[in-house]
Amino acid sequence: MSIRRLPEHLVNRIAAGEVVERPASALKEIVENALDAGATRLAIRLSNGGLDRIEVSDDGCGMDSADMALALERHATSKLPDDAIENVATLGFRGEALPSIASVARLSIDSRVTGSDGWNRTVDNGQFVAEGPAALPPGTRVTVEQLFAKVPARRKFLRSAKAEYAACLDIVRRLAMAHPAVAFSLEHDGRRVLGVQAGDAREERVAALTDRALADNHVIVSLEREGVRLSGVASIPTYNRGVGDHQYLFVNGRPVKDRLLIGALRGAYADMLARDRHPVVALFLDVPPLDVDVNVHPAKTEVRFRDPTMIRGMIVSGLRRALDAEGFRAVQHADAAALSAWRAEPVSPTPIGAMPIFDAAAVAYNPLASSFGDRRSTFLTPPPQARAEPAAAPAPEGQSFPLGVARGQVARTYIVAEAEDGLVIVDQHAAHERLTLERMRRAMEGQENGNRVASQALLLPEVVELEETACDRLEARAAELHDFGLDLERFGPSAMLVRAVPAMLGQSDVQGLVTDLADDLAAYDSALSLKERLDLVAATMACHGSVRAGRVLSVAEMNALLREMEVTPRSGQCNHGRPTWVKLGHGDIEKLFGRK
């Protein structure tokens, strides 16, 4: 078969296959054109998930009739004034989007330049239909109807209208995050589903487009290095999601999906989140055009960095610094579902003045009483199962400390403290687990100066029986474990002999510690870098060396734990991402008692 030159309409359809995969792809190209045209306000309307109709109206610079005709030709663009494609600073630059969309749908463009009349041009599946005057304010209105209606082979591969609508909504959210100076509105089948005003602060825009609660549970990321600037918003570890679809990366204002972000986030939130939980982040990279290649994907959703290692290091460092600066901070507000679980005592019809509060004989203790109101506390009822101890010194005032001062212990698990602005409840095991991990990290950093984590030799070495493969993994990492103060050696084909454990762990469960280390290495060893693997080992050891739930603490011990939490980075969450403390504000307490 001889080689032939393809006709123009077929070339456009082939290009459409690369650029226009679904309604969301067409919407992305049209919105990016509007932003490149200097629009400050965009109104988007969708019908049937964009399958039937997409309409985008903007107040940008507009086009005259000559430019409009040229815009519908392939590789015609106003965004490359010269041949230096490596210096591109706009979202679009190929000049393929409009002719590609027009080849697989009915495309109508209405546009008007300030000071002149509006003009319309319509193309239906690659065929010119009509043009003429149009009435509209300065700007451009692009309408796409019946996408792939005449290309059934492509149409049948589209998903349901709901799925296509979700993809369109995600595209609008990402572009709206990247451009807080532009107002966006989105309507679907006549219902307004998204609206943000121009001039929002970046963190406010991100919270409005993801979750309003993020506004109270985020940190600001800011870092500059070698001409590259990183900024953005990241959730504190205790505010997380079960899926990773709330993670956004923007490069020079362009939303991209890059594996680099996934790996960097895992490194930044290592030991602060369980592996099945994900942070909410929106990161913005401003990179010199010569250091990033945006011309590596037809839809421009991927980029290639000249120095990806430096970019990944910036993301990890920027997030770590921002999270470390927050110290012991955790999720700010009490959970609404948890508050609603509090039960109010039924109101007694007896007047308060007539209630025999001090008459012990007036209300006898009846263990068979059925109603809660009939079982009022009297001096004859058994005392509450709690603990009090004499104060050796006057209790300090809660105003002096962010986490307050200890007032007691509940269920031998939770420390109750009084702070200036409310009641603080601390999970003693989760908190001490984080503190132990940070101590171990500091000890590991000391190894750079020739120091080793202090170890405690066992009076009698302990034999831990494991599977042979688990012993092989531990034996291969014996040198790294030795640096942590854990000395073990092979003891036959299916056992390990433990001679010493880290001193800071105290009287730990050696059997459980070694077994968990073997399990963790089996699950994650091959997928982690050396530093991540060391962090994993430290986290596992810290869990075994922490104050356990069920241990009675003195008031002095409780206060010492609170003070150390206040000065320890990332103490607001344990090594698995769960909060170590929650606060019940005065306003929340007043609501429980009907005072507010």
How far apart CA 482 and CA 486 sit, in angstroms, is 5
Provide the phi-psi class of 18: left if phi over 0, else alpha when psi is between -120 and 50, else beta: alpha
- Answer whether residue 399 shows pLDDT above 60: no
Q: What is the DSSP letter of 578?
A: -
What would the pLDDT profile of 373-386 be if each residue is shown by its tens digit? 444 444 444 444 45
Which of 251, 221, 239 shows the shortest CA–CA distance to 319? 221
How far apart CA 572 and CA 582 sit, in angstroms, is 9
- Answer whether residue 175 shows pLDDT above 90: yes
Give, for 415, the enclosing helix (H) or strand (E): strand 414-419
Contact by Cβ (8 Å): 467, 494: yes
Give the pLDDT confidence score for residue 327 in this predicted structure: 61
Give the pLDDT confidence score for residue 374 in this predicted structure: 41
272-295 mean pLDDT: 83
The answer to which of 15-24, 127-136, 167-176, 354-363 has the lowest mean pLDDT is 354-363
Q: Which residue has the higher pLDDT, 92 or 138?
A: 138
How far apart CA 554 and CA 573 sit, in angstroms, is 23
Mind giving me the DSSP string for 10-43? HHHHHHHHHH-SSHHHHHHHHHHHHHHTT-SEEE
pLDDT bracket for residue 483 (50, 70, 90): confident
Distance of CA 510 to the CA centre of its chain: 36
pLDDT bracket for residue 313 (50, 70, 90): confident
Contact by Cβ (8 Å): 180, 33: no
What would the pLDDT profile of 291-302 be if each residue is shown by its tens digit? 888 766 665 677
Q: Which residue has the higher pLDDT, 8 or 136?
A: 136
Q: What percent of the chain has pLDDT over 90?
A: 27
Instruction: Give first-to-last CA distance, the chain, whole Å.
Output: 84
Give the pLDDT confidence score for residue 39 in this predicted structure: 94
- Answer whether residue 356 shows pLDDT above 60: no
Mind giving me the DSSP string for 335-351? -HHHHHT--PPPPPSS-
Q: What is the mean pLDDT of the chain?
A: 79
Q: Which residue has the higher pLDDT, 137 or 593?
A: 137
Give the pLDDT confidence score for residue 89 in this predicted structure: 65
How far apart CA 97 and CA 103 sit, in angstroms, is 10
Whole-model pTM: value is: 0.63
Give the pLDDT confidence score for residue 367 in this predicted structure: 41
* List of residues 6+ apart from 166 with CB closer than 8 A: none
How far apart CA 315 and CA 570 sit, in angstroms, is 18
pLDDT bracket for residue 84 (50, 70, 90): low
pLDDT bracket for residue 353 (50, 70, 90): very low
Q: Which residue has the higher pLDDT, 501 or 363?
A: 501
pLDDT bracket for residue 439 (50, 70, 90): confident
542-561 mean pLDDT: 76
24-35 mean pLDDT: 92
How far apart CA 575 and CA 538 sit, in angstroms, is 10
- Answer whether residue 455 shows pLDDT above 60: yes
How far apart CA 541 and CA 195 sit, in angstroms, is 48
Q: Number of helices (H) and strands (E) in the chain: give both, helices first.
A: 17, 24
Q: Which residue has the tokens 């959703």?
A: 301
Give the pLDDT confidence score for residue 456 in this predicted structure: 86
Q: Which residue has the tokens 């985020």?
A: 218
Q: Are strands 191-196 and 183-188 parallel, antiparallel or unpaired?
A: antiparallel
Give the pLDDT confidence score for residue 299 in this predicted structure: 57
How far apart CA 484 and CA 398 sit, in angstroms, is 37
Give, for 585, the enclosing helix (H) or strand (E): strand 581-585
pLDDT bracket for residue 338 (50, 70, 90): low
**What number of residues does the chain have?**
596
Give the pLDDT confidence score for residue 527 in this predicted structure: 46
Q: What percent of the chain has pLDDT over 70?
A: 75
Q: Which residue has the tokens 């546009």?
A: 111
- Answer whether residue 470 shows pLDDT above 90: no
Contact by Cβ (8 Å): 409, 553: yes
- Answer whether residue 340 shows pLDDT above 80: no
Angle between helices 308-325 and 259-268 in degrees, nearest 10: 40
Q: For residue 175, what are its two tokens?
A: 């572009």
Q: Which residue has the tokens 């900024």?
A: 231
The answer to which of 59-73, 111-125, 137-151, 229-243 has the lowest mean pLDDT is 229-243
Give the pLDDT confidence score for residue 411 in this predicted structure: 84
What would the pLDDT profile of 101-149 be if each residue is shown by its tens digit? 998 999 999 999 999 999 999 999 989 999 999 999 999 999 999 999 8
Q: Which residue has the higher pLDDT, 134 or 265?
A: 134
30-39 mean pLDDT: 92
Q: Specify the amino acid at residue 208.
A: A
79-89 mean pLDDT: 61
